[in-house]
Structure 1
Amino acid sequence: MIKFFRKIRQNMIKENKASKYLLYAIGEIFLVVIGILIALQINTWNQERILKIEEKGIVKSLHNEYLQNKKLITTSITQSETCIHTLKSIMNLIGKDEEFTRKANSDSLLFYAFDPPIFRPSENTISGLIQSGRLELIQNKDLVNLIYEWGRTMKALTDNSKRVMINLDDRVFPYLSKHYSLKDMDAYGELQWENKTILAIDKLKIFEDIEFENITDDFIYRVLYNKNKLVELETIIDSILKETEQ
C-alpha cells in the first residue's frame, strides 16, 4: 500500500501537477491522521475492556470475602449476646442473700461473662485495593462508599476491643485473682480442671462488693458497645453483598 501511494506521488511530481499533488498530499495526511485516531480509539477500547475485566474480578473477590465475613460476624454477635446475658445474670446475683447466690453456678457464669468475642474479619481484598490505589477501578460509587464506611466502623470496633482487653488485664482479672478462684473458673475452659481449689476462700463475697458490681457494670457497657458496632458492620456487609451479587 505504501509503495502504491509513493508511485502515485512520483508520477504527479514528474508530470508537474502541483495542485493535484497538493490535494493528494492533504488527502494522504488526512488518511494517516484518521488511521492514528482509529488506532488510538481501538487501544482505548482495549484498555477499557481490560479494566472492566479487572473490575469484575475485584467485585467477585469482595463478594466472596464478605460471604465469609457474614458467617464470622453472625457468630460474633451471638457470642456477644451470650456474654451480655451472662453479665446481667451476674449483676442479678449481686446484693442477694447467700442462699439465693449459692443456687447459681458462679464459676461458669464468671468464665463465660468475662470472655467476650474478638471479631477478626478477612480484609485482604480491601487492604490490597487501598494500598495499590486500585479502589478507583470500582465504578459503583455506592460500593466504594460502603467500603469506606466499613473501614470507619471497623476502626471504632477495633479500638474499643483493645480497651476491653486492657480492662480485662488491668482490672477484671487482678480483682478476681484476689477474691475468687481462677482455677474453678478455668474448669470450663481449655484447662478443664476436674477438681475445685482446696484453698479456703469465700467466693461468694464478691457478690457483696460494690467494687465488683462497678467492674461488672462497666464491662457490660464496653461489650454492649462492641455488640452494637457488630450489628452496624453486619448491615454494611449485607449492603456490600447486595452491591456485589452480580
Structure 2
Amino acid sequence: MKLFNTLRLRMIEGKRVKKYVLYAIGEIILVVIGILIAVAINKHTEAGKSEDYTYKMALQVKQKIEADIALLKATRDDISEDLKIYNLYLKANKTDSERLQVVTQAPFLVTVSVQFAPINPILSTAFDNTSINSSSLTDKLLEIQQDYKSIDRTLKPMEDIITEELVANLRHIKDNFNWYEKLVSFNGKFTVDEYRYFGSDDYRNRVVHMKFLYLEGYDDLLEAFHELLINRLTELNALLKHDHKGSL
C-alpha cells in the first residue's frame, strides 16, 4: 500500500511538472508573439512617419526646383543681354550710336561683366530619413539629388575657369597700363589714348575667348540644366499628386 501511494505521488508530481512545462512554453510563446506584434506596430508607425517625412521633403525639393528654374532663367536672360553687347563689340561696321554704346561697355567685357547661377546642391543629410521608406517618390528624390550633384560638379569647374580668365585679364591690365584704377573703380573716364587698347587685337582676342567660355560654353550648360530641372519638376509633381490621392 505504501509503495502504491509512493508511485501515485510520483505520477501526480510528474503531471504537475509536465503541466508546468507546457504552461511555461505557452507563456514564452505569448511573450514572443507580443514582441513580434510590438515590432510590427513600431515598423508600421516608423513607416508612416517616414512616408510623411518623404512627402514633406518632396514639397521642399519641389520649391527648390521651382526657385532654381526661375534663377536659371533669370541668369540666362542676363547672359542673353550680355551677348548683344559682345556681338556688337565684334561687329565689323558699327553705326555712331553703336560705337558709343560699345565705348561705355567695352572696358568691362572681359573683367567683371559675368553672371553666374548660384545653384546649390541638396545636402545628403536631408534624405537620411527617406531611406526607410522605399517608394517611387523616394527614388525620384534620390535621383534629383544626384542631378544636383552633377550640376554642381559641372558648373563649378566652368565657373572657376571663367573666374581665372577674368583675374588674368585684370592682372594683365594692372601690370601693363597706368589707368587700371579707373577700370576697377568703374570711373569710366578714359582718355582717347586709353580707349585705344579696347580696340586692339589683343583685347579683341580676349573678348572672343570670353564669349566662347561664358556666352557659349557656360550658357549651354545652363540651358541643359534648365531643361533637366523642368523635366524633374514635372515628374515630381506627378508623383506628389499620386501620393496625395493615395493618402485621401
Does TM, normalized by the shorter one, top 0.5? yes
Output the aligned Cα RMSD.
Answer: 3.6
Q: Deviations over 1:222-243 (max 9, x none)?
A: 1111101111221232233234
User: Equivalent residues in 2 for 1:30-45 (5 A)?
Assistant: 30-45=29-44
Q: Which residue of 2 aligns with 1:60?
A: 59
| Pair 1:169-2:167 in alignment | yes
Q: Aligned equivalents of 1:149 and 1:111: distance in 2?
A: 37
For this pair of structures, how many residues does the alignment match? 221
User: Equivalent residues in 2 for 1:188-207 (5 A)?
Assistant: 196-197=189-190, 199-201=191-193, 203-204=195-196, 206-207=198-199
Query: By percentage of residues, which structure has more helix?
Result: 2
User: Equivalent residues in 2 for 1:122-133 (5 A)?
Assistant: 122-123=120-121, 126-127=122-123, 129=125, 133=128
Structure 1 segments unaligned to the other structure (5+ residues): 1-12
Q: Which residue of 1 aligns with 2:25?
A: 26
Q: Which residue of 1 aligns with 2:232?
A: 240
Contact 1:73 1:234 in 2 (8 A): yes
Q: Secondary structure at the match of 1:82?
A: helix
Pair 1:59–1:142, CA change in 2 (3 A): closer
Q: Aligned equivalents of 2:178 and 2:87: distance in 1?
A: 19
Amino acid at match of 1:48: A
Q: Which residue of 1 aligns with 2:207?
A: 216
Q: Which residue of 2 aligns with 1:10?
A: none
Contact 1:138 1:144 in 2 (8 A): no
Pair 1:182–1:110, CA change in 2 (3 A): farther
Q: Which residue of 1 aligns with 2:8?
A: none
Q: State the Cα distance separating 1:68 from its structure 2 match.
A: 1.6
Q: Which residue of 1 aligns with 2:119?
A: 121
Q: Select the residue among 206, 219, 222 that pairs with 1:230.
A: 222
User: Equivalent residues in 2 for 1:182-193 (5 A)?
Assistant: none
Q: Aligned equivalents of 1:37 and 1:104: distance in 2?
A: 82
Q: Which residue of 2 aligns with 1:90?
A: 89
Contact 2:47 2:132 in 1 (8 A): no
Pair 1:143–1:50, CA change in 2 (3 A): closer
TM-score (norm 2): 0.71
| Pair 1:152-2:150 in alignment | yes
Q: Deviations over 1:17-64 (max 9, x none)?
A: 555544444333322221111111111111111222221222121111
Q: Aligned equivalents of 1:178 and 1:74: distance in 2?
A: 38
Q: Secondary structure at the match of 2:193?
A: coil
Q: Aligned equivalents of 1:41 and 1:159: distance in 2?
A: 49
Q: Secondary structure at the match of 1:201?
A: helix
Q: Deviations over 1:152-172 (max 9, x none)?
A: 222221111122122112126
Identity %: 14
Bigger shift: residues 105-114 or 211-220: 105-114
Pair 1:76–1:112, CA change in 2 (3 A): farther
Q: Deviations over 1:167-192 (max 9, x none)?
A: 11212673499679778878xxx95x
Amino acid at match of 1:232: A
Amino acid at match of 2:42: N
Q: Secondary structure at the match of 1:79?
A: helix
Structure 2 segments unaligned to the other structure (5+ residues): 1-11, 241-248
